[in-house]
Structure 1
Amino acid sequence: MTQRSITARRLLTGLAFVALMAASACAPHTTAENIKDAPKGPEPFFSFPVTSNDTPYSQCLASFRKHPANNLPAFTVGEVADKTGQIDRTSNSAVISQGVSEMVMSALWKTGKAKLVERFDLRIPLAEMKMIEQGLTTRPQNGMASSIRASDFVVLGALTELNYNIVSQGAGLWVGGIGAGARTVVINVGLDLRVVNSRNFDVGYVSSLQKQIYGYEVEANVFRFFGSQLVEFDAGRIQNEPLQLGVRSVVEMAIYQIMTEYFGLPASKECGEIQEAHNLDASDSKKES
């Protein structure tokens, strides 16, 4: 083995060790006390157990439950469509979740201050009613349905923005195919919701929100050519906020706005809307100009 090969091998091993140590240092620290206090659930066969699908804004919605209220309004949720027009060409599928309407329903339910009536998918309920009318099925005497409750308000809207790389920065150094680097990126999603009065079709409130989603990547790459083949070693850590979690967060904040600003439920400072967003630094501003 030549001296050059030995040096390259040592450098490769050293970079691998540093990268793996950095990744492990950034991992969440678990203590025996945390494990002891954690609730015990069914043991999954593989990977992680089922958990609640909450965001940091879910606690703001849940805070409404402590306020007594009568005569709750009845909401129905219409289509909250994905109008970003973004398609993942590798899988030929939508980038954004197509279940935003269901996210709105879940957010309203978390408030405990809304009655939900179904209008989004009436295929099964209408088929059930038709079967009863035709005598194909029967309903128990004590279970006869009364008149169907009308909705008081309809929630409609769309995901209107998905912008990539609104801020992107990083640094790296590679010499002779050996080096390391770090990179950050920020994208954003935008949501527009409106509340329609079911009695007169007036639009009573409009919420327009956006959330910036942060990604952080650290990597250590080693590239070497051996003859005509490229050999790559890659070790590092990628930490990205899930895109769909960002969408659900925007939805829950929009419902919080509707319940406080339109329906007058008490708001808290901890759940207030933050006005400032990620600002571009001077260098980024110069690039854009």
Structure 2
Amino acid sequence: MKFLSSPASNILGVLAAGLTLSACVSPTAGSSGYYASPIGNAPVTANPTPYSTALYCLADYARRYNLPSPRMAVGRISDYTGTISSDGGRQITQGASLMANSALAKAGARLVERYDTSVSELELRYANNRLISDDQPNGQPDEAGYRRILAGQVPGSDFYIVGGITEVNYNIRSAGFDAAMGQVKDNGGSGLLTGRVFVMNIAIDLRMVQTTTLEVVDVVSYQKQIIGREISAGVFDFLNGNVFDISAGGSGLEPVQLGVRALVERATVEFMANLYGAPGPEICLSPENDPLGPTAVGATGGYYPTYPNTDTNNGQTRADPSRWHDRRDSAVRRAGQ
């Protein structure tokens, strides 16, 4: 909004706005060590898609009927679209393999690492040169003084998932409107209203391969449409020698990368339902398939419990946005407070 009545009032308005903004930033660090306090206080939350519930429903189904999960691994799920954003970076996420790992964990799969084995390979090389030692349960080093390398100590995978993001189609369809109105008088006001809607899509092709035979045992290909919209309105008017220029608007784009995650999770649902022998979504509706109790699988993924504490530390509690937050969880206090 702009008010134009005299040069003096304009200067005062600019100075007032500048002083207001400068009050948020100090050239001298305060006692906290900050020049300015960061804005925002949203807690960390889970990042589910509409298919996440089906994934940990499959995990509950497998646990109830004692269905063993084969060992799963994830290879490269690359971006084959070649799309580049205006700032030079990739338009589509390069982390689809990481999303697939999370999806498999939500489904209760037994995971073995094959995507980044650099640390294990380095330690294996160190151990082979007798440079690494391991403490025993009594806290003392191994009698031999170094980590031993045993034949067959690394479990193999039964199946692995690979593939890629294969399509990004912009502006499949778009629509919009512009509407303007005003008065004939010289000092009359005018208004403008605009709106835009557009649709794009992304697609993914994944395959599940049996590790020992390299036979492709399952293939899925999915696409998802993404919608974006923008609405803006403005008013321009003269009033007693002053000029009023007011505009407002809003825009939104369905998250493209979250769409990729949804594609990966839908594909993982189909893969794991096949491996578990689940007949279909009806397994999630049957009362006899309710969870047996607190489980390590939830909206944030899954894990192998190290201690029997799933009654207080489980998949559901991990998805609680207030848990462990120093201002939202009253149990989080520094010792002595």
State the match for 1:248 in structure 2: 261
Deviates more, 1:57-66 or 1:256-265: 256-265
Give the CA deviation at 1:240: 2.1
Q: Which residue of 1 aligns with 2:197?
A: 184
Task: Tell me which of 56, 60, 67 is aligned to 1:66.
Answer: 60
> What is the number of residues matched between the two proteins?
222
Q: 1:113-163, CA deviations, whole angstroms, 9 ceiling, x for partnerless residues? A: x11111111111010111112122112356967611011001000000111
Q: Deviations over 1:72-107 (max 9, x none)?
A: 201110000011111012x10001111000000000
Q: In structure 2, which of residues 159, 169, 173 is the aligned counterpart of residue 167 of structure 1?
A: 173
1:117-136 → structure 2 map (5 Å cutoff): 117-136=112-131
Q: What displacement does 1:202 show?
A: 0.6
Secondary structure of the 1:106 match is helix
Match of 2:74 in 1: 77
Larger displacement relative to structure 2 (242-251 or 176-185): 176-185
Task: Point out the structure with the larger helix share.
Answer: 1
AA at the equivalent of 1:83: Y
User: Higher RCO, 1 or 2 (CA under 8 Å, sep at least 6)?
Assistant: 2
* Contact 1:78–1:155 (Cα < 8 Å) also in 2: yes
Q: Is 2:51–2:265's contact at 8 Å kept on the other side of the alignment?
A: yes
Per the TM alignment, residue 175 of structure 1 is displaced from its structure 2 partner at its CA by 4.7
Q: 1:216 to 1:122 in 2, by over 3 A?
A: same
Change (3 A) 1:193 1:175: same
Select which of 159, 166, 190 maps to 1:153. Answer: 159
Instruction: Quote the Cα distance in structure 2 between the aligned partners of 1:221 and 1:118.
Output: 55
Note if 1:199 corresponds to 2:205: no
After superposing the two structures, state which structure 1 stretch, 183-192 or 254-263, moved more.
254-263
Which ranges of structure 1 fall in alignment gaps of 5 or more residues? 7-43, 225-230, 272-289
Q: Which runs of 5+ in 2 are unaligned?
A: 6-37, 138-146, 183-189, 238-243, 285-337
Secondary structure at the counterpart of residue 279 of structure 2: coil
2: CA distance, partners of 1:93 / 1:232: 37
Aligned residue for 1:88, secondary structure, equals coil
Matched residue type, 2:257: Q
CA spacing shift, 1:63–1:163, aligned 2, 3 Å: same
Distance 1:138 1:245, change over 3 A: same
**Partner residue of 1:138?**
133
Which structure 2 residues correspond to residues 4-19 of structure 1 after superposition, within 5 A?
A: none
Q: Conserved in 2, the CA contact under 8 Å of 1:132 and 1:139? A: no
| Sequence identity (%) | 38
Contact 1:178 1:221 in 2 (8 A): yes
More strand by share: 1
Counterpart in 2 of 1:9? none
**What is aligned with 1:211?**
224
Distance 2:72 2:283 in 1: 26
| Equivalent position of 1:54 in the other structure | 48
How much has 1:269 moved relative to structure 2? 5.8
The answer to whether the 8 Å contact 2:67/2:276 transfers is no
Alignment of 1:6-45 (within 5 A): none
Equivalent-residue separation in structure 1 for 2:177 and 2:282 (angstroms): 38
Q: In structure 2, how many angstroms separate the alpha carbons of the residues matched to 1:190 and 1:85?
A: 13
Q: Which runs of 4+ in 1 moved over 4 A?
A: 141-146
Deviation string 1:155-194 (CA, Å, 9 cap, x unpaired) is: 0000001111112112221357741022211111100000
**Are the structure 2 counterparts of residues 203 and 243 from structure 1 closer, same or farther at C-alpha, using a change threshold of 3 Å?**
same
Larger Rg computed on CA atoms: 2
Instruction: Choose 127-136 or 193-202, whichever is displaced more.
Output: 127-136
Give the C-alpha shift of residue 222 in structure 1.
5.0
Question: SS state of the match for residue 125, structure 2?
Answer: helix
Q: Distance in 2 between matches of 1:213 and 1:131?
A: 48
Paired AA for residue 258 in structure 1: F
